[in-house]
Structure 1
Amino acid sequence: MDLDAYVAEHGGQWRRLDELCRRRRLDAAEVDELVVLYQRTATQLSALRSRSPDPALVSQLSQLVLRARARLTGRPRASWAAVTRFLVSGFPGAVYRAWPWWCGVATAFSLLSFFLIWFVANNPDTAAAFIGEDAATDLVDSGFAGYYTEFSAPTFAFHLWTHNAWLAAQCLASGVLIVPVFYLLWQNALNIGVVGGVMVSYGRADVFFGLITPHGLLELTGVFVAAGLGLRVAWAWIAPPPDLTRGQSVARAGRSAVLVAVGLVGVFAVSAFVEAFVTPAPVPVPLRVGLGAAVWLAFLAYVVVLGRRATHRTPPPPLDPGDHEVVVTTRRGGGQ
């Protein structure tokens, strides 16, 4: 290939395509021209890659083709409007639509945790078998309360935030396998049951519930939502709707799960703040519990009110975009 002759022949088209990509707005004729030049340049780039040893020219044309493709496909841009839509309808709507799943998880988890607290409290030998007599005594005397003041509040809050977000991510990611979700929930229920049972058996139920309630309401609700969405993905695989294939059903449930995962990052940030700054605060227990309960009720109201409104206004999330052919549309006479 005579590279100089090839560049001389097609260089004008490449410069015109670059000019169109840089323009802020295009009319209908210019959009049509952009499409034609993009197709031609992509073909010419393919020819150059196979015949030309000039990497600089290939790199230059590759960038030009990518810019043209992004202009045609309407590359999404971050905007406050998108963030607002996510907070007002996307996240609460996804959580609201899955309420039977996470409410079911919350009910089963709570019943199991309270049963374990009752069982351990009424069977002291069980607590000794789990953590040992010395550890139980230390837990009651100072260990449980000291956990909330061992580190500085900002460090503690960051640790809690990342830990809970990772736990939720595990529940969502492993939901399709079912067993890992139940294992993670069992581990947390067992921990609450053993610690709570030991505290109750030593007559320190007020300390246990006074410290765990302010942050636990919101924190555990976030875990329940993650576990419920994870199990919902598994059910989408087991029993897909009649109008969807198994893969499409899992794709739809997976999109909701990813949407919720992003929102839960904020939920766990709030619960971590409450646990680090409110739970150990030297204020009366009713005030701490009241603040935690107010934050929890505000989250539930946010999900119910905005989620119901979003669900009634919009259909369920679409299938994964990969299941459909990408169609580029343009408006005649309008801006790009």
Structure 2
Amino acid sequence: MDIACAFPTALSSPDDIAVAERLGYTRAWVYDTPQQSPDVWMTLALAARRTERIGLGPGVLVPSLRHPMANAAATATLTALAPGRVAVAFGTGFTGRRAMGYPAISWSYMDSYIRAYRGLLRGETVEWEGRRMRMLHPEGHAPARPVDVPVLIGALGPKGNAVARELADGLYATLQLPEFAKDYTWVPYLTWGTVLDEGEPPDSEHARTAGGPGWALAYHGAYEFGGPDAVRELPGGAQWLDVVDAEPGEERHLAVHSGHCVELNRADLAAWNAGGHSVLTDVTVSGTRGEVRRKLDDLASRGVTEIVFQPCGPDIEAELERFLDAARS
């Protein structure tokens, strides 16, 4: 199983990716979350200039945020900066849409978008929004078409699986690992957590800052996909909901997604302090070095070919080192 990493696209991400390359990570993915992050393509371009080997890609792009021509042109640019190192993943929009109050895009839209995007990279004339278009970049403005870049799609259910099987080179998985993951030869699985010292409790300061942001996704995901009742089933869920429900309904999504994948927001902290930390090792790839290794072995047996670890906390390099050491043990 390849050991890759991911970053929630911060100003430090290009330097963090350079560190990941030095440590031996095979690929770095960065998020397309404009409501809380710098631009994903600018970040990747800077990372390309600071690295030589590590694979690079957005994981995941949300189609509704950019015209397919804009993403095709950006992909071609990154390919010129990092030839042979680029892969692109697409998703329907968890943080990238829900944090702005929108639902996920439809799979029919994803299907049309990927067809147009891939057609543009092949140098074809495609139709989008009723108009015919083609990449017209002259020599020196982009690599010659076709631009051959692997495309992955994040899918959890049958509709997404159908689109991914037809149009993608792999399955990009996060939050859940579907049974059909075993049907793909390339399955990056995005995960969070931290390697705990022997005897370290799950409510330590290190566990909270390094493992907490990934732990909080259990609450964010439960709320978005299962509603308040699903959150109440989690330890500290009632306290989490008390904070979120105090916000006006039209702005409640802001309270849910604030700090997403970076730090605990007010609702998350309320749940953590109310005992939610007790499930840290259940909902993230957290635990001692040996426990993390066993979790990775289990994921590999279920179809994961590339583990994608997002470090959190004040010492990103130390978290990258801890995880890589556990993964290689």
Higher-strand-fraction structure: 2
Q: TM-score, normalized by length of structure 1?
A: 0.23
Q: TM-score, normalized by length of structure 2?
A: 0.23
Larger radius of gyration: 1
Higher-helix-fraction structure: 1
Larger RCO, structure (CA 8 Å, separation 6 or more): 1
